[in-house]
Structure 1
Amino acid sequence: MNHDLLLVLLLLAACVGCFILNRPRMDVVALLAIVALPLTGVLSVNEVLAGFSDPAVVLIAALFVIGDGLVRTGIAYRLGDWLVHAAGDSEVRLLILLMLAVAGLGSVMSSTGVVAIFIPVVLSIALRLKVPPGRLMMPLAFAGLISGMLTLVATPPNMVVHSELRRAGLEGFAFFDFAPVGLAVLVLGIGYMLLARRWLARNDGTDDGDGEARLTLSDMAHAYRLSERERRLRVLPGSPLASQALDELRLRSEYGINVIAIERPHKFRTLLLIATGNTQLLAGDVLLVDLASPAIGLLGAYRELGLEPLQLSSSYYDIHARELGLAEVALPPDSRLPGKTIQEIGFRSRHKLNVVGVRRAREALQGVLVDERLRPGDTLLVAGAWKHIHRLQGLSRDFLVLSLPAEVDEVAPAASQAPFALLGLALMVGLMVSGVLPNVLAALIGCLAMGLFRCIDMDSAYKSIHWQSLILIVGMLPFALALQKTGGIDLAVSGLIGLVGGAGPHALLACLFVLTAVIGLFISNTATAILMAPVALSSAQQLGASPYPFAMIVALAASAAFMTPISSPVNTLVLGPGRYGFADFVRIGVPFTLLVMILSVLLVPLVFPL
């Protein structure tokens, strides 16, 4: 072992030790490695900083932007809605569908991109089902890695091994040659995560992240007793309300009916209109109303007004959470509003928001609120469009927005651009699958399409990039070149092959899997495949065996990067959202890697006879 190799190994060991201790932060460790490597004399400054121009880093950054575009247009949350609907209240069914969906998409496009797109979806689902994000984030990452074992184009290592076979004058792998073993690994992975998920949710309170859980729309509605007063009423043909504006009808003052929003049928979908004083009602509209008294329907008012009560299975605030919001508003000491009634301050006409609740001395008031005179210390619950709720935050003299529900994070500010976001995504995926352009250019074109169609703006694009993950990847990339230049990789490979060269083919397959997986802990799986593919073919030649099982085992092991959060960008992406530590991946990933190795060593010779 030469002096330079010793320095590189010591520095690498120091970085891994810091990762294990999680002190300092992983991105800080990566920056320290960037500074330290040139000081060893093994790499130049340009070589160490080359990671900032690496196509993989640019690709990951672009995919963060694509993912945020899908969030801002509401597509990601609609996909989450479908998963929740299909899974019901079963976390088991949700986990199975999630892993199947991610593995399926990742088999034809970048697994890193798929995971980046699914992260906000999974966070949203976890919030709604009250499941700790850690129970879903690692299954998400593992499914992304397993997707690389399903098709020839799923991951670069597969193409590397395929190319090495062709260079050796052999026929390469077909598109679905990986599928038999990959599908078996996917089934194994789903079963394993169903068991291991119980160890992914911490009981030390750290899963909350920010301390107390944020209020939800349901919490606010319960505190102000809205569920007792919520109704859905259809405007019947011939109703005296049809073709009239709400301000002209005086429904609040005369009948105690406060119209919050209107569901209006429109072609193939239903529009939600937030009620204002100028909103005109039409026959067939479904009114979402807040009643002054739950018994209002017994007074014959519905019949008089030509309204038909409809079933309300759950709160309409939950049903329309992306468009209809709630917020608690307090009156600061210098507010000009105490002493006035809600009717007098014209809340709906001025701010396009409805006051649906008032709390005084921690008790929710009942009755006709528009005539209630406000007092210092009152808190109001307002309902309306999210953009109008955000506008209240600028009126600091009269209002102080106390709290916004957690669902505000799911608001889609560019929901009308959803078809164009799908078009941009389809364009990117099509270019990636066809291979017409490199993946990084396909992703950049997708980003430009998102911007062109106003699915995302520049400020949001920059904010969407998870810079901590990128710095970590950039900081670890130079170790691959350093180990190659100092002979560290060659030394490890030759030593292990010499140790098991005389053993049987199954033992050699297992050793190739272990060596590939271990090297993949420190360098990219693509570089690992480049180094190990020739070794696999030479080993098969020495044994007089078929080269295909040996080449396949290297490709599978290169995708089996389950053991640490830095083994693959996929793992790095879920590290923060899942609130994992380095040890979490070791604890869950190492046993699963061993299971994948056993399964692969047993199945590969059956699919590709020795």
Structure 2
Amino acid sequence: MNLMLPNAHALAVLLLVVFALILFSRDRIPLETSSLVVLAALAVGFELFPYQGPGGITLNSTDFFLGFGHQALVAVCALMILGQGLIRSGALEPVGRMLTAAWRKAPSLSLLATLLVCALLSAFINNTPIVVMLLPILIGVALRTGLSPSGLLLPVGLISIVGGMTTTIGTSTNLLVVSVAADMGVASFRMFDFLVPASIAGAVAVLYLWLIAPRLLPDRQVPMQSTVKRLFTAQIRLDKSSDATGLQLAEAIERCNGELKVEKIQRGPGVFVTPLPDVELKAGDRITTTNTQDNLREFAHLLGGKLYSGDVEVDETHPLEPHNQQIAEVAITPTSKLLGVRIAQARLLSRYGLRLLALHRFNREDQTRATGVENTVLRSGDVLLVQSSPRQLNQLKDGGDFLVLDGSVNLPKTSKAPLALGIMVGVIVVAAAGILPIAISAVFGVLALLMTRCLSWKEAMAALSIQVVMIIVASLALGMALMRTGGADWIAQIFLSLSFGIPAFAILGILMLAMAALTNVVSNNAAAVIGTPIAISLAQQLMLPAEPFVLAVLFGANLSFATPMAYQTNLLVMNAGGYKFNDFVRVGLPLMVLLWLVLTATLAYAYRL
């Protein structure tokens, strides 16, 4: 086959696609920032160099912003809010209670039941809130039974991804592939059109994750609590003979090697002085600070003061006490408002009552003290070792910013739960019956949740992720540019020339495997939207039906098991379970290969390839 270079616009788009995939794979650059860079590059490029293709095909700079109103994005956002409604109203509370009771009565079969329930729920609800609901339950099970949590968390996290690929609404990836294919003239997929091949693969995945995966995983623990010291709040009281009397506060802090963090200065009963650097310290001042026991004693010695806990001087008979404080591990959820925020700006103490002791992240081998991580940008899945009161920790469980990994189950339960569940079922039934498209039925479902007060506007907005919105819009823009400039056709021609003489089912399998490899490195939404026009062009040039090739992209983009960066819940599960990168490779890579073989064979048989 004689291949010619594509036109200048197609070549520029292909180069931008490569650049975008590199950007999307850089976890140090926020995904929403990378998406905006790609979107801006497309808009500016086509504004400066307008495209007029054969047959009157045009592509204007403003066309790339149509993704903000695309039905796939509308459906994804509405379904995220509906999932939030189920969680907030307590509609899933009976599920959590049932699984908790099952683990107490029949531990040997409970993992199987958990995998099946998780897969079923993930077919209709965004899997992030499902995983967030199940993690504390499984950690509690591990604590009570003495099992290692590493044998439970990863299999459940992976089955939630498998369950999501069984229906058109299971994941945002499915919705995007189906919508892009429909935009290109492929017959629309209904909700359960690919349920059979996905269910066959799901059954294989359940057996693998139930019987084999736990045996492949070594015992893992997050070694945080043993590596840090508890923090105490105390007062350093100065008198006339104290070395710090007469010094400015900045000078006193300098004497303590800059480590003294002054919270307040009390000067007489009910009188407090703002701890500014130029404040002059006087006899009788009480400096309140929080640090480790050894550091507090050192500060008192360097300032020539006496250390007090309340009104009692600290000595051997009256040691420092934590005063209703406990240490806990909390994880940053994928929908947290703190994503992308530096720890120094997160105001953990003033907003949440949390004192940070250490940070655990899968690519950080050291468990760094809080004094060394102020400039660290928080990411989804980060586990923070914090000290706080039991009341504050319980309040965290009612919010969506943190997941408290203490093994307790604090599921919401409200009178609105049956109503929220009924609304969700109604949305699914209406869409599955073809009465309304999923984008419209889901929007009406959101309206119903708001009007019945199952969900507030604040809670609805908290369910949305700017990261998801931006990556979808940027991916849709790239897919449009590939399709209209002929870049997708050119890639399909290269694919065909390299696979000349290979049977159609093998070409299908290679396409799915390429998508699976790509989705484990970059965003699965980006991989899916870029791959869909290529798959359709490939089918057209082979003169075969487009549906199996579209499904190859859909399934391949969901096989995000082999790396922790491949899916948003993978990082959360990884840090919560103390897994290493190789644990995902050890368990996820065989699962990816296994499902790739099953799905390729199933599609080839179903479509007679």
Q: Please give the TM-score of this superposition, normalised by the length of structure 2.
A: 0.55
TM-superposed CA distance for 1:534, in Å, is 6.4
Conserved 8 A contact 1:432-1:439: yes
Rate the CA distance shift 1:464–1:591 in 2: closer, same or farther, 3 A.
Answer: same
Counterpart pick for 2:72 among 49, 56, 61: 56
Give 2:391's aligned amino acid: L
TM-superposed CA distance for 1:185, in Å, is 1.0
Structure 2 spans left out of the alignment, 5+ residues: 50-58, 143-148, 231-265, 271-309, 313-319, 326-349, 354-387, 399-409
Counterpart pick for 1:20 among 25, 44, 57: 25
Cα distance in 2 for partners of 1:498, 1:58 equals: 38
Conserved 8 A contact 2:561-2:592: no
The aligned residue for residue 536 of structure 1 is: 539
The aligned residue for residue 8 of structure 1 is: 13
Partner-residue secondary structure (3-state), 1:463 = helix
Cα distance in 2 for partners of 1:587, 1:157 equals: 29
Rate the CA distance shift 1:39–1:94 in 2: closer, same or farther, 3 A.
Answer: farther
Rate the CA distance shift 1:106–1:158 in 2: closer, same or farther, 3 A.
Answer: farther
The aligned residue for residue 597 of structure 1 is: 596
Counterpart pick for 2:133 among 121, 130, 133: 121
More off after superposition, 172-181 vs 595-604 = 172-181
Correspondence 1:87-166 to 2 at 5 A: 87-88=103-104, 93=109, 95-105=111-121, 109=124, 113-129=125-141, 131=149, 136-147=156-167
TM-superposed CA distance for 1:510, in Å, is 2.8
TM-superposed CA distance for 1:443, in Å, is 1.4
TM-superposed CA distance for 1:9, in Å, is 3.4
The aligned residue for residue 404 of structure 1 is: 391
TM-superposed CA distance for 1:606, in Å, is 4.6
Partner-residue secondary structure (3-state), 1:437 = coil
1:70 and 2:76 matched? no
Conserved 8 A contact 2:561-2:589: no
Rate the CA distance shift 1:427–1:493 in 2: closer, same or farther, 3 A.
Answer: same
Cα distance in 2 for partners of 1:207, 1:479 equals: 43
Counterpart pick for 1:85 among 61, 83, 101: 101
Rate the CA distance shift 1:596–1:499 in 2: closer, same or farther, 3 A.
Answer: same
Cα distance in 2 for partners of 1:566, 1:378 equals: 43
TM-superposed CA distance for 1:497, in Å, is 2.0
Conserved 8 A contact 1:5-1:486: yes
Counterpart pick for 1:560 among 556, 559, 571: 556
Cα distance in 2 for partners of 1:66, 1:530 equals: 30
Per-residue CA deviation, residues 244-302 of structure 1 (Å, 9 max, x unaligned), is xxxxxxxxxxxxxxxxxxxxxxxxxxxxxxxxxxxxxxxxxxxxxxxxxxxxxxxxxxx
Correspondence 1:324-363 to 2 at 5 A: none
Correspondence 1:350-499 to 2 at 5 A: 379=323, 402-404=389-391, 406-408=393-395, 409=397, 415-499=414-498
Structure 1 spans left out of the alignment, 5+ residues: 214-331, 336-358, 362-375, 382-392, 542-546
The aligned residue for residue 503 of structure 1 is: 502
Rate the CA distance shift 1:528–1:534 in 2: closer, same or farther, 3 A.
Answer: same
Give 1:555's aligned amino acid: L
Q: Please give the TM-score of this superposition, normalised by the length of structure 1.
A: 0.55
Per-residue CA deviation, residues 504-555 of structure 1 (Å, 9 max, x unaligned), is 34434434544666788675747755653564366366xxxxx6xx843642
Cα distance in 2 for partners of 1:162, 1:592 equals: 30
Conserved 8 A contact 1:563-1:588: no
Conserved 8 A contact 1:136-1:197: no
CA RMSD of aligned residues (A): 5.1
Correspondence 1:254-273 to 2 at 5 A: none
Partner-residue secondary structure (3-state), 2:389 = strand
Conserved 8 A contact 1:564-1:582: no
TM-superposed CA distance for 1:29, in Å, is 1.7
Cα distance in 1 for partners of 2:581, 2:42 equals: 23
Rate the CA distance shift 1:582–1:162 in 2: closer, same or farther, 3 A.
Answer: farther
1:574 and 2:574 matched? no
Per-residue CA deviation, residues 360-379 of structure 1 (Å, 9 max, x unaligned), is 99xxxxxxxxxxxxxx9895
Conserved 8 A contact 2:478-2:530: no
1:32 and 2:44 matched? no
Rate the CA distance shift 1:406–1:37 in 2: closer, same or farther, 3 A.
Answer: same
Aligned residue pairs total 419
Cα distance in 1 for partners of 2:499, 2:197 equals: 25
TM-superposed CA distance for 1:480, in Å, is 0.9
Rate the CA distance shift 1:94–1:66 in 2: closer, same or farther, 3 A.
Answer: farther
TM-superposed CA distance for 1:56, in Å, is 2.2
Rate the CA distance shift 1:505–1:576 in 2: closer, same or farther, 3 A.
Answer: closer
TM-superposed CA distance for 1:417, in Å, is 1.7
TM-superposed CA distance for 1:502, in Å, is 2.5
Cα distance in 2 for partners of 1:431, 1:141 equals: 24
Give 1:31's aligned amino acid: L
The aligned residue for residue 63 of structure 2 is: 47
Partner-residue secondary structure (3-state), 2:454 = coil
The structure having more radius of gyration, on CA atoms, is 1
Conserved 8 A contact 1:62-1:444: yes
Rate the CA distance shift 1:10–1:480 in 2: closer, same or farther, 3 A.
Answer: same
Conserved 8 A contact 2:548-2:603: yes
Cα distance in 2 for partners of 1:463, 1:161 equals: 30
Percent of aligned positions that are identical: 21
Conserved 8 A contact 2:157-2:569: yes
Rate the CA distance shift 1:604–1:418 in 2: closer, same or farther, 3 A.
Answer: closer
Conserved 8 A contact 1:69-1:456: yes
TM-superposed CA distance for 1:471, in Å, is 2.6
Cα distance in 2 for partners of 1:510, 1:125 equals: 38
TM-superposed CA distance for 1:98, in Å, is 4.1
Cα distance in 2 for partners of 1:596, 1:585 equals: 16
TM-superposed CA distance for 1:61, in Å, is 2.2
Conserved 8 A contact 1:52-1:474: yes
Cα distance in 1 for partners of 2:223, 2:82 equals: 30
Partner-residue secondary structure (3-state), 1:415 = coil
Conserved 8 A contact 1:103-1:147: no
Conserved 8 A contact 2:10-2:482: yes
TM-superposed CA distance for 1:189, in Å, is 2.0
Conserved 8 A contact 1:64-1:116: no
